[in-house]
Structure 1
Amino acid sequence: MTFDAIGIAATGLTTHRKWLDAVSDNLANANNASSTDGAAFQARYVVAQEGQGVSGVYVSGVEFGDAEGRMVYQPDHPVADADGYVRYPDIDLSEQMGNLILAQRGYEANAAVVDRAKATYEAALQIGRS
């Protein structure tokens, strides 16, 4: 039972770490401008799925945001087109910050489960030695 808890929490740690990585990429690229004839940075969204039985959770794939992005009038920008427009990713910073907090808390919760399961296992070993 203790090893099941550690294994399941480990899958949660991995999934939340990948979610944190995706959110970090989205935040880092939120202000990347590109020319209007190219695609905007596409935000990454991790798709998680439950495992079979008691196997935890895993990342089943990644979905990408819209490559169209949003057009912004900035005639002084180096990559602006003839009409003065540049393309930015369509990334909502407040949504990404909320996701960042959720992913961080989920990671911390799964790490706490691993710590508690380890302490329980060590206590059981001590009882067995007595």
Structure 2
Amino acid sequence: MGFFDGYNVSSSGMSAQRTRINVVSANIANAKTTHTAEGGPYKKQQVVFQDILLANSNQKANSNDVEATNDKNSDIALRGVGVKSIIQSDAKPVLRYDPTHPDANPEGYVAYPDINPVIEMVDLIEAMRSYEANVSAFNTHKAIDSKTLDILNA
């Protein structure tokens, strides 16, 4: 394990959770969006994470050595977490009767996104707590390195 590996893992976790916070926030903000540029209601999005690994644990991390995999039997070292993709939900929209709405169909129903704000808030809190845990790990690693340097300089 290298000197900066702990920092790299924590900062990659913070970056991934920041992306998740942004996506969940967009879901909450668009929970009532009935018309998008693509047409139809907004579609809920979710973040898919992946582990970022180093092909040979004895080598330094170069752009050519980093690969992503979920294979637990491979002989590679963990480098952090990344965002694999942001996927759109394929859930059907929720139809509500509102004939005065500008996006109502001929029968008077409006298609709303299938987004539950309570579930989205729980996801947001979970992402925030994960971000905070990565900040705490980063600060702990920094404190350990600082104490080590103090001991070496004494």
Q: Give the alignment's TM-score, normalised by structure 2.
A: 0.77
Distance 1:68 1:41 in 2: 11
d(CA) in 2 for partners of 1:124, 1:96 = 42
Please list, as runs of the form range in 1=range in 2, the aligned pairs for 1:75-94 lying within 5 A after superposition: 75-94=99-118
Unpaired runs of at least 5, structure 1:
none
Output one character per residue of 1:58-77: Cα deviation in whole Å (capped at 9) or x when no partner: 11111101374121111121
Q: Deviations over 1:82-101 (max 9, x none)?
A: 22111111112222111111
CA contact (8 A) 1:12 1:57 kept: yes
Matched residue type, 1:119 = A
TM-score by length of 1: 0.90
Alignment: residue pair count: 128
SS at match of 1:75: coil
Select the residue among 28, 46, 55 that pairs with 2:79. 55
| Cα RMSD, aligned residues only | 1.6
| Deviant stretches of 4+, over 4 Å | none
Greater share of helix: 1
% identical equivalent positions: 34
Counterpart in the other structure of 1:13: 14
Equivalences for residues 27-106 of structure 1 within 5 A? 27-34=28-35, 38-52=39-53, 53-66=77-90, 68-106=92-130
